[in-house]
Amino acid sequence: MKNSTRKSAAVLLLGLLGMAGLQSCRPGETVPQNVILFIADGSGFNHVAAASLFMHGREGAQVYTRFPMRCAVSTYPAGGPVYDPHSAWQAFSYVEDGTTDSAAAATAMSTGVKTCNGAINVDPDKNRLTSAFEIAEQRGKSTGIVSSVFFSHATPACFAAHNPSRDNYLAIAREMLLESPVDVIMGCGHPLFNQQGKPALVPCYAYIGGKETWEALRLGRAGGDADLDGEADAWTLVETKAAFQALMSGPTPRRVLGIPQVFQTLQQERMGDGQAAPFTVSLIEGIPTLREMTLAALNVLDEDRDGFFLMVEGGAVDWAAHDNQDGRMIEEQIDFDRAVEAVVDWVEAHSSWKETLIIVTSDHETGYLTGPGSGDMASGDDGMSAVWFPLQNRGRGEMPELQWNIGEHTNSLVPFYAKGAGSLRFEEYAVGSDPVRGAYLDNTDIGRVLIAFLEDR
Ligand SMILES: [Zn+2]
């Protein structure tokens, strides 16, 4: 490939990575009763591919990659630059500039409005924005948030808080726990446990709204007005893996706060070689998986006859990608994929695709993950040209060969998959055309469509 021209590199890309023209046309123009929005934080097309290669020995094996609505998403924050598909596949470094953070991206998906990096559900002038979750609550639906990182982190915060800065964890956690009407919150941030899931030498109440809030939670005395009847609705706190598993079936409390006994992430921040192959460093015991947390959340929310909105974040895909950890990124992506699979099974057993919509997407790509050898290469007459190679498959259970190009976010398009009621509504918005990824919509379109569903009723 040393002498490859831009054109032949583009042809290679289209052949090996092409996602163009994959949308199908099926009647599905209904309004969903239930929406489950899955966000794999920091996950691009190649993160999904890497997990599939490791798990199945081939790309495109995850259940959601065969959903009827498939396209890509642009993620740039307020002020741009607007993603330019042609420049993105001409200069290798194009996607390294103008990147979003999780706060701006999740605000776009939750409210339909672009904002600046760091902002949680407020616009660039710090005006409060209304999220789809708030409207869902006003329409009598239940709402829930599940994350594999601490629950007051940027992505989950954008579904229940408003703050000009994502770093104001204390205020964000307090708004989520004491003011928001959300019915289920499950995520890390336990004040009394460390990254290994062992008792912490020094408690840290930073992510849980302070010591006072934690003590009120433990006494069953904390919580805002979830059902909007003017009276406070206290949280039922669950902490152990067994308690999460018990919530997966049978009767449940009305309002559940699930804080696994670990500090910032379920598993990604545990000790051991961060570069080791997936699942070779033993997992922390006593911690639920994202799948178990998601099924527990669903079992609480599905009592509501008006339906529910649930957001599930694979938050530590991004953390592993920032650290360029091959194995842990794949572990986190697999944990996320298993949660999606479980919800697909739940829809088929307990709901239907006429009633429920599942969306699987990402907020931005992290690490600029490509196949080995990608980058700027000397080309015949015009100096350098950029080439992107696919990941190299080493077979099931073996690490694919991959290349991290940076430790930060990129402006690359990310994947979008949807199935169920209303899923084809997104087709109308997928008007962008990328030479490699095909049709794409913008992250604000996700928020706009979710809000339109609620206003259509
Ligand atoms: Zn990140």
- Mean pLDDT for 52-60 is 97
Would the pLDDT of 391 be above 90?
yes
> What is the CA(364)–ligand 1 centre distance, in A?
8
Quick: pLDDT tens for 229-250: 888 899 999 999 999 999 999 9
Please give the pLDDT value at position 456. Answer: 73
Would the pLDDT of 27 be above 90?
no
> What is the CA(227)–ligand 1 centre distance, in A?
34
Confidence of residue 8 (pLDDT cuts 50, 70, 90): very low
Residue bearing tokens 């930060």? 408
Work out the mean pLDDT of the chain and round it to a whole number: 92
> What is the CA(322)–ligand 1 centre distance, in A?
6
Structural domains of the chain, ranges and CATH numbers in brackets: 6-18+33-456 (3.40.720.10)
Nearest alpha carbon to residue 440 among 102, 85, 93, 73: 73
Give the range among 334-338, 365-369, 373-377 with minimum mean pLDDT: 373-377
Confidence of residue 12 (pLDDT cuts 50, 70, 90): very low
Would the pLDDT of 75 be above 70?
yes
Cβ < 5 A residues, ion ligand 1 = 318
Confidence of residue 457 (pLDDT cuts 50, 70, 90): low
Quick: pLDDT tens for 405-430: 999 999 999 999 999 999 999 999 99
Would the pLDDT of 5 be above 70?
no
> What is the CA(83)–ligand 1 centre distance, in A?
19
> What is the CA(317)–ligand 1 centre distance, in A?
9
Quick: pLDDT tens for 350-373: 999 999 999 999 999 999 999 999
- Give this prediction's pTM: 0.93
> What is the CA(9)–ligand 1 centre distance, in A?
29
> What is the CA(195)–ligand 1 centre distance, in A?
19
- Supply the angle between the helices 443-456 and 102-111 in degrees, to the nearest 10: 30
Please give the pLDDT value at position 378. Answer: 80
Do residues 357 and 34 touch, judged by C-beta distance below 8 A? yes
Would the pLDDT of 152 be above 70?
yes
Would the pLDDT of 304 be above 90?
no
> What is the CA(120)–ligand 1 centre distance, in A?
15
Could you tell me what percentage of the chain is helix, strand and coil, using 3-state DSSP and rounding each to the nearest 5?
Answer: 30, 20, 50
Do residues 132 and 457 touch, judged by C-beta distance below 8 A? no
Kindly state the tokens that stand for 448: 């706009």
Distance CA 219, CA 442 (A): 44
> What is the CA(203)–ligand 1 centre distance, in A?
25
Give the range among 5-9, 93-97, 258-262 with minimum mean pLDDT: 5-9
428 contact partners, CB below 8 Å, separation of at least 6: none
Please give the pLDDT value at position 382. Answer: 67
